[in-house]
Amino acid sequence: MKILTIVGARPQFVKAAMVSDAIAKWNKDNIGAEVEEIMVHTGQHYDDNMSGVFFRQLGIPAPKYNLGVSGGSQIDNLSRMMTGVESTIMDEQPDVVLIYGDTNSSLAGALTAAKLGFKVIHVEAGDRADNKNNPEEMNRIMIDHISNLLLCTTETARRNLAGEGITDNVFVVGNLMGEAFFRYASKPWKDRILLSLEQGNIEVPEKYYYMTCHRQENTRNDNALKAMMMAMESLEYPTVFPVHPRNKDRVLRLINEFSFQNIWAVEPVGYFESIHLIKGAKQVVTDSGGVLTETFFAGVPYVYVMDMPKIPKRTPFDVSRLAKPLKEDILAKLNQPFDASVGPAICERNIGTGRRILEKIEEWYLLFS
């Protein structure tokens, strides 16, 4: 079976790494029919610290194609990605096209494959934030409605799909971010930021905060970011803040304007650095779905600066989310009680997700091939 995998943004590299690794083991141990994976990188994230470092750290095979599409308006971006994906699909004639998550790369891949009459597999199907204005939510809904095999992280996601009338070929397989976190967060890792915290006589762990912010809702003007930075500035420990390229100028300007001293704004860090910084943090403030998931799995308290009503109630997620943040709201949320035992227990259940994904793909593929 020939799988064409489309990736483009950093959370997708982490997920694809788990499946590529499962494919290598699958072929080596002759578990099922031989799987050939062709990887296409759209170029959405292209800086070494947003892309290359993930391939090196996670041992992902180099993509066969790099479409080099970045920048420009959303529409220009999507159309260039679709044109590039079209020619790779036509050249490769894969049996299935594998899509992860909810980025523009995911949408371009799914839409192109579906239009060309190829089968689309969506990993992380059914995730919903109940907010159709959110750009990622639009992508999720469109992708799910044109996919042929829908692989969900949770029962909640499966129920979301059923609520939209999608019930065929839907399976809960687990969370690849959880599998990756479980595999790598327990391995010792000293990165330059943790080292420099120690050299600055800041004791780790739990003597710093970790923050990320890149969602369009929070970056279209200064408000959210300013509130987050002001809250962090007032805390007793410093905040390590890897800045997404989208925000760099704004963050530097705010640091200058308000003379923030307690915020360590750094370039984006690699995956191993990120999960170890999360694990060692006192608390995390973020608007990233991936960072939120990892923080939850680490059992570290957090504030999620997004409105996401559909987060399952049994997780501590719902006590901590925050839309349209104000400094005082963030500080109040940081003081809320948090059950740190739930996440690590759930994290463990995701071991083997990559393998389960392959099993489901093979089972389903045999039905139509």
**Distance of closest approach, residue 82 Cβ to ligand UDP, in angstroms:** 21
Q: What is the CA radius of gyration of the chain?
A: 20
Residues 228-267, one symbol each (x = binds ligand UDP by CB under 6 A, - = not), give: --------------x-------------------------
* Owner of token pair 């890149």: 214
Alpha carbons 241 and 285: distance in angstroms, whole number: 10
Which of 31/141 has CB closer to ligand UDP?
141
320 lies in the site for ligand UDP, by CB under 6 A: no
**Distance of closest approach, residue 291 Cβ to ligand UDP, in angstroms:** 5
Q: Which stretch binds ligand UDP (CB under 6 A): 8-16, 24-32, 35-43, 108-116?
A: 8-16
271 lies in the site for ligand UDP, by CB under 6 A: yes
In whole angstroms, how far apart are CA 254 and each of 172, 223, 247, 249, 289? 43, 11, 11, 9, 24
* Angle of helix 271-280 versus helix 176-184 axis, rounded to 10: 80
Q: Work out which of 77, 288, 350, 353 binds ligand UDP, going by CB under 6 A.
A: 288
# of chain residues touching ligand UDP (CB under 6 A): 17
Token pair belonging to 101: 């998550």
8 lies in the site for ligand UDP, by CB under 6 A: no
Which of 115/246 has CB closer to ligand UDP?
246
275 lies in the site for ligand UDP, by CB under 6 A: yes
- CA diameter of the chain: 63
Question: Does residue 205 have a cis bond before it (omega within 30 degrees)?
Answer: yes
Q: Work out which of 77, 106, 156, 274 binds ligand UDP, going by CB under 6 A.
A: 274
Q: Backbone phi, then psi, for 137, in 5-degree steps?
A: -65, -40
Query: Alpha-carbon dihedral of residues 356, 362, 363, 367, nearest 10 degrees?
Result: 160
128 lies in the site for ligand UDP, by CB under 6 A: no
16 lies in the site for ligand UDP, by CB under 6 A: no
Would you please indicate which residues are annotated as catalytic (active-site) residues?
214
Q: Work out which of 290, 316, 325, 354 binds ligand UDP, going by CB under 6 A.
A: 290
DSSP one-letter code for 321 = B
Q: Work out which of 10, 15, 276, 279 binds ligand UDP, going by CB under 6 A.
A: 10
291 lies in the site for ligand UDP, by CB under 6 A: yes
Which of 214/355 has CB closer to ligand UDP?
214
Alpha carbons 192 and 69: distance in angstroms, whole number: 31
Alpha carbons 16 and 354: distance in angstroms, whole number: 9
Alpha carbons 110 and 337: distance in angstroms, whole number: 41
**Distance of closest approach, residue 50 Cβ to ligand UDP, in angstroms:** 8
Please answer whether residues 16 and 60 qualify as being in contact, where contact means their C-beta atoms are separated by less than 8 angstroms: yes
Please answer whether residues 87 and 44 qualify as being in contact, where contact means their C-beta atoms are separated by less than 8 angstroms: no
67 lies in the site for ligand UDP, by CB under 6 A: no
43 lies in the site for ligand UDP, by CB under 6 A: no
Which of 92/294 has CB closer to ligand UDP?
294
280 CB-near residues (< 8 Å, 6+ apart): 194, 204, 205, 206, 208
Beta strands in the chain (DSSP E): 2-7, 36-41, 65-66, 96-100, 119-123, 149-152, 170-172, 209-212, 239-242, 263-266, 284-286, 302-304
301 lies in the site for ligand UDP, by CB under 6 A: no
User: Is beta strand 36-41 parallel, antiparallel or unpaired with respect to 2-7?
Assistant: parallel
Which of 89/347 has CB closer to ligand UDP?
347
Q: Work out which of 3, 6, 14, 123 binds ligand UDP, going by CB under 6 A.
A: 14
Q: Which stretch binds ligand UDP (CB under 6 A): 152-160, 182-190, 285-293, 329-337?
A: 285-293
**Distance of closest approach, residue 127 Cβ to ligand UDP, in angstroms:** 11
Alpha carbons 42 and 108: distance in angstroms, whole number: 9
Q: Which stretch binds ligand UDP (CB under 6 A): 26-34, 160-168, 270-278, 352-360?
A: 270-278
Q: Which residues bind ligand UDP (CB under 6 A)?
A: 10-11, 14, 212, 214, 242, 268-271, 274-275, 288-291, 294
